[in-house]
Structure 1
């Protein structure tokens, strides 16, 4: 085989490999945007590929546990292997922040979380649950709507307005009477970007409020959040804010603020 022909075949193989990876990534992004899962046909429509092509990609991803079937004939969702990779990626920040989270929760006697952006959602990657009779228990790894949560809003502030609209769409779901629409959220972003601080006053769940502070590190942007029943939150909001600022300082010293 001539040297030029061999080079052409190597280039074609490389391009083909890149295309396969790109298509697999587009499938996973589509599933990431729909946590409840999608059928093969819906995935194909979402990514603009033939159903047969999507089926081959999904089967390959399923063999690596990157996607999993919801139940027979009901479509697919992101699999456990992806969650494991996310956890491993954030292991360092979890170990660095853990003591500060514990001290924050003990100081306030409220539940606190550490979260990050994951596609078009936020994921709680660590938490400390308060030993309080009336407390909020936040599920680990749960994807939450960013427009209606304190940590989601503070993490969204790292994006520009165009990116926020692309992530949320023009009409994000209204979960309570207090939930922001896109335009009111963009207006709030001005202050959030200035202060690095966001609140959720019953915007996600009636009776629960939260405040969150942005912690940009060399390991990515993270948010620390205090979550409490609204009755206590209203009386202690400023106290929570000052405690979050001290927590940020503590974590930033160890993680390196970006």
Structure 2
């Protein structure tokens, strides 16, 4: 047997075990959701595993705040960490629901595709998309991650970050076209411009022939929580037409911000 084949055989059980552990951890959460409280012995019986295995899984979930011990009873219940995760999902859904009618209006007014995006790790995650009447079979970006440095949405989402947060995101800046910004210094200068003018542009930076503009959406605390963008082919979104689109875009993003509590008196 070759060394490669032996290595592959060694890797298979480890990978399978990892997936199995995730599956068991999720089942523990389901067990606690049904029962309210359960001890390690009960969890082990439900999973059909040794008690020590169940304890390790429960202890790991406890470290992440997903389960917690019921004081003095030796049992576990779902932890407040789940509320944090659920709250993040709920907040995103709230933004999408508030944004949808405004995005529809903006798509109708501009004729182009309107996207709603948020920062997710080291990329921009598209939460929603509305196609305007001029958009012919647009690519569906919902649920997809796109690079920050090569897109108008990404630039907006980076522009108002604290410096230490920005440093963590500014790793390698791959080139997608000849106009993609690949220098950290140049990108920082671009983000300064975004902050000054209140919107970002990206023309032929992610894809040749694609133009986009984005503006920030703020929550009640003034934090930029997502961005709204208008995108379309460069032959339609010329410099002249972009100047007519930008006021509509900024107006829509400001209105969404106000609906989320920003500037409320």
TM over 0.5: yes
Tell me which moved more, 194-203 or 130-139: 130-139
Q: 1:207 to 1:253 in 2, by over 3 A?
A: same
Unpaired stretches in structure 1, ≥5 consecutive residues: 1-50, 65-82
Corresponding position of 1:142: 144
Unpaired stretches in structure 2, ≥5 consecutive residues: 1-14, 30-84
Corresponding position of 1:214: 216
Corresponding position of 1:251: 256
Between the aligned partners of 2:165 and 2:18, the Cα distance in structure 1 is 27
Is the 8 Å Cα contact of residues 134 and 229 (structure 1) preserved in structure 2?
no
Q: 1:135 to 1:55 in 2, by over 3 A?
A: closer
Between the aligned partners of 1:175 and 1:60, the Cα distance in structure 2 is 41
1:78-115 deviation per Cα after TM superposition (whole angstroms, max 9, x unaligned): xxxxx998654311111111111100000111000111
Q: What displacement does 1:208 show?
A: 0.3
Corresponding position of 1:227: 231
Q: 1:52 to 1:202 in 2, by over 3 A?
A: same
TM-score normalised per structure 1: 0.65
Q: 1:177 to 1:162 in 2, by over 3 A?
A: farther
1:123-138 mapped onto 2 (5 Å cutoff): 123-132=125-134, 134=136, 136-138=138-140
Between the aligned partners of 1:86 and 1:137, the Cα distance in structure 2 is 26
Q: What displacement does 1:62 show?
A: 6.7
Q: 1:62 to 1:155 in 2, by over 3 A?
A: same
Q: What displacement does 1:252 show?
A: 2.5
Is the 8 Å Cα contact of residues 220 and 262 (structure 2) preserved in structure 1?
yes
Q: What displacement does 1:59 show?
A: 5.3
Is the 8 Å Cα contact of residues 111 and 135 (structure 1) preserved in structure 2?
no
Instruction: Return the index of the structure with the highest Cα Rg.
Output: 2
Corresponding position of 1:117: 119
Corresponding position of 1:98: 100
Name the SS of the counterpart of 2:229 in structure 1: strand
Name the SS of the counterpart of 1:210 in structure 2: strand
1:20-49 deviation per Cα after TM superposition (whole angstroms, max 9, x unaligned): xxxxxxxxxxxxxxxxxxxxxxxxxxxxxx
Corresponding position of 1:42: none
Between the aligned partners of 1:190 and 1:53, the Cα distance in structure 2 is 48
Corresponding position of 1:204: 206
RMSD: 3.2
Tell me which moved more, 141-150 or 83-92: 83-92
Is the 8 Å Cα contact of residues 151 and 225 (structure 1) preserved in structure 2?
yes
Show structure 1 runs of 4+ deviating over 3 A. 51-64, 83-89, 133-136
1:40-79 deviation per Cα after TM superposition (whole angstroms, max 9, x unaligned): xxxxxxxxxxx99977865556767xxxxxxxxxxxxxxx
- 1:172 lines up with 2:177 in the alignment: no
Between the aligned partners of 1:141 and 1:161, the Cα distance in structure 2 is 27
Is the 8 Å Cα contact of residues 151 and 224 (structure 1) preserved in structure 2?
yes
Name the SS of the counterpart of 1:212 in structure 2: strand
Q: 1:130 to 1:61 in 2, by over 3 A?
A: farther
Q: 1:256 to 1:232 in 2, by over 3 A?
A: same
Q: Choose the corresponding residue for 1:155, options 157, 162, 167.
A: 157
Q: What displacement does 1:236 show?
A: 1.0
Q: What displacement does 1:231 show?
A: 1.4
